Amino acid sequence: MSLQYIIDAYNIINHPQFRSVAKQSSSVQHSLDDFIRLNRLTGSTKNSVILVFDGYPAAGQEIPEGEGLVWIYSRKIDADEKIKKLVEESGNPRDIIVVSDDRGVQLTARLLHAQVSGVKEFICGKKSNKPVAAIGLDSVDPKLTYSQIQKINAELEERWLG
């Protein structure tokens, strides 16, 4: 069984362990690819990686293509929302490992039965490289999709706080 890693790219780029490596490279984003692959942070080479960046790519920026590696720019929404949508729209979230330090992203991923890893654990983690299991949320079976939850929250916020 291969896994799919969905990674909040800027969380990795801003981590001290990565910054020390990135200083030696002319392209932070390209060194991110190398950093993940050379350090085997995703375990098997059969595991695929989606790096999610905020916004749009720079004009003329070459987006690397590699086997099992995809770069996604969130465009008009932020990367956290894009990650949540990717997990929600996946066919089998149990085979996804979301790498992010954002608690909202982690909670949504767990509710959708995806696995979660913080950035420090992903980079420095355990020798086995296994992500942290969702504690106490394995039995949660949401009846609402993430989008429906967001709509309800927005309506309640408008009624109570607006």
> For residue 39, what is the domain's CATH number?
3.40.50
DSSP state of 66: B
Structure confidence at residue 137 (pLDDT): 40
Do 108 and 98 meet the contact criterion of CB atoms below 8 Å apart? Answer: no
Structure confidence at residue 119 (pLDDT): 93
Q: Give the separation between CA 107 and CA 72, rounded to whole angstroms.
A: 21
Q: How far is CA 31 from CA 19, 23, 28, 59, in A?
A: 10, 9, 5, 19
Structure confidence at residue 14 (pLDDT): 87
DSSP state of 132: B
Do 131 and 95 meet the contact criterion of CB atoms below 8 Å apart? Answer: no
- Give the pLDDT of the chain (162 residues) as one tens digit per residue: 689 999 999 999 888 888 776 666 556 766 788 888 888 899 888 899 999 999 887 777 666 666 778 888 999 999 999 999 999 999 899 999 999 999 999 999 999 999 999 999 998 875 444 443 333 344 444 566 767 777 888 888 888 886
Enclosing domain of residue 80? 4-161
- Outline where DSSP puts E strands in the chain: 4-8, 48-53, 69-73, 96-99, 115-117
Structure confidence at residue 35 (pLDDT): 84
Count of domains in the chain? 1
111-133: burial string, b at 16+ Cβ within 10 Å, e else: bbbbbbbbbebbbebeeebebbe
Structure confidence at residue 122 (pLDDT): 93
